[in-house]
């Protein structure tokens, strides 16, 4: 059944687990997530970005997720809009039936100018008022995603690294006191925080330690606002196995590291309830497709390589449901 984000995250908080929130763009990713959830009995958060709506078309994305809800009636599913850049984007998602929206007011509508605290509060509070009137949950974001290694903030463009330029430590790390004021003034159901993660495959040039991935900051924020569900963006682990497979079968990807699952588990102990993952599924599908096509040079039925890609994505999803503790909670 379709449920709101608030319902799932309240249950996760009461029972001390976290939920992966997977980005979806097509049938195969949705199949993979639902098959994995069904096998390990986990609730599901599927989220569509602006890029996903552009790729699939809003109607297709909406109906594909609705099909998942119909095919797996026993699994609670949140249909969440990821990174809304303005209140109007959120209103459109609410109209199309999303049960949760993210108003990302950490940047201005251009997706590259860090916003003022007042701007962020205003746009987010506006969305909360509209969304809550119709039972839809709202995720806000305070602080800018970006790298503590280079000091570069991240813009919203697909390859957004560095797009907003250099940021101060104050901007790259969410302040607990400001977070408390933000939650009080907006009434958000969940709060995305900045702790040194960024979107995409190139997060860290080495396995992250406390100086470049500030998991301790999660604890400080949680101590200040224990009743707010925290969200980690840019939380792909970037599996080295899949990078190697991609390289072995003709791909070119430079050395890179993601957010280790153990660090996310630490975050969950400190109040993280929603963990956003897109890149890991992309890497697994790409690796599986490259391997399939190199090993089966005369194959031309897309179902064959997409089946491998689905299985690879499903393995990632199952591993995350189990590691974050949502397995068995549906
Ligand atoms: O927010 C970032 C997600 O990974 C979505 O990426 O904008 O390429 O769909 P996208
Ligand atoms: P990754 O790129 O680390 O998978 O992050 C996805 C995300 O945060 C979507 O909002
Ligand atoms: Na989101
Ligand atoms: Zn994100």
- Bridge partners (DSSP) listed for residue 100: 80, 137
How many Cα atoms within 13 Å fall on the side-chain side of residue 180? 9
Please report which helix (H) or strand (E) contains residue 119, including its range: helix 117-133
Protein residue closest via CA to atom 7 of ligand 1: 51
- Ligand 1 mutation target, pool 21, 46, 83, 274, most atoms within 8 A of CB: 83
Encode burial over 75-92: b for 16+ CB neighbours within 10 A, e otherwise. bbbbbbbbbbbbbebbbb
Q: CATH number for the domain including 135?
A: 3.20.20.70
Q: Note down the domain range covering 120.
A: 5-324
ipTM: 0.98
Rounded to whole angstroms, the Cα distance separating 272 from 324 reads 10
Q: Supply the pLDDT for residue 164.
A: 87
Ligand 2 pocket residue status of 276, Cβ below 6 Å? yes
Q: List the chain residues with pLDDT less than 50.
A: none
Concatenated DSSP letters for 91-115? Answer: HHHHHTT-SEEEE--SB-TTSSSBP
Structural domains counted in the chain: 1
Predicted confidence (pLDDT) per residue in 82-120, tens digit: 999 999 999 999 999 999 999 999 999 998 899 999 999
Rounded to whole angstroms, the Cα distance separating 273 from 231 reads 6
pTM: 0.98
Both structure tokens of 144: 């800018």
- Bridge partners (DSSP) listed for residue 46: 22, 79
Predicted confidence (pLDDT) per residue in 295-328, tens digit: 999 999 999 999 999 999 999 999 999 999 999 9
Which residue from 252, 237, 235, 242 is spatially nearest to 289, judged by alpha carbons? 242
- C-alpha distances in angstroms, 108 versus 90, 121, 123, 148, 251? 15, 12, 10, 21, 35
Both structure tokens of 263: 């660090």
Residue 288 counted as domain residue = yes
Residue 329 counted as domain residue = no
Q: Supply the pLDDT for residue 318.
A: 99
Residue 330 counted as domain residue = no
Residue 104 counted as domain residue = yes
Both structure tokens of 251: 């791909």
Name the binding residues for Zn(2+): 83, 104, 141, 199, 233
Residue 182 counted as domain residue = yes
Concatenated DSSP letters for 142-164? Answer: ES--B-TTT-EEE-SSTT-EEEE
């Amino acid at each position: 059944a379709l449920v709101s984000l608030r319902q799932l995250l309240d249950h996760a908080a009461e029972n001390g687990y976290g939920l992966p929130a997977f980005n979806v763009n097509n049938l195969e990713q949705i199949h993979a997530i639902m098959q994995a959830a069904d096998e390990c009995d986990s609730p599901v958060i599927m989220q569509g970005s602006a890029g996903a709506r552009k790729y699939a078309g809003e109607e297709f994305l909406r109906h594909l997720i609705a099909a998942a809800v119909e095919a797996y009636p026993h699994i609670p599913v949140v249909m969440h809009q990821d990174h809304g850049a303005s209140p109007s984007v959120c209103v459109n998602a609410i109209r199309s039936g999303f049960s949760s929206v993210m108003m990302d007011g950490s940047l201005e509508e251009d997706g590259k100018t860090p916003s003022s605290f007042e701007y962020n509060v205003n746009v987010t509070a506006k969305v909360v008022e509209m969304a809550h009137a119709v039972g839809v949950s709202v995720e806000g974001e305070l602080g800018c995603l970006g790298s503590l290694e280079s000091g570069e903030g991240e813009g919203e463009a697909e390859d957004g690294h560095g797009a907003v330029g250099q940021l101060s430590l104050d901007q790259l790390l969410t302040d607990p006191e400001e977070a408390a004021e933000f939650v009080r003034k907006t009434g958000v159901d969940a709060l995305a925080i900045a702790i040194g993660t960024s979107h995409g495959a190139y997060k860290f040039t080495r396995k992250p330690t406390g100086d470049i991935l500030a998991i301790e900051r999660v604890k400080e924020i949680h101590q200040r606002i224990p009743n707010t569900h925290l969200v980690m963006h840019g939380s792909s682990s970037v599996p080295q196995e899949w990078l190697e497979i991609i390289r072995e079968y003709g791909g070119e990807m430079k050395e890179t590291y993601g957010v280790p699952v153990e660090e996310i588990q630490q975050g969950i102990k400190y109040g993280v309830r929603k963990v956003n993952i897109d890149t890991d599924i992309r890497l697994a599908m790409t690796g599986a497709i490259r391997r399939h096509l190199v090993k089966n040079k005369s194959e031309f039925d897309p179902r064959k390589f997409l089946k491998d890609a689905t299985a690879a994505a499903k393995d990632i999803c199952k591993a995350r449901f189990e590691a974050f503790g949502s397995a068995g909670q549906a």
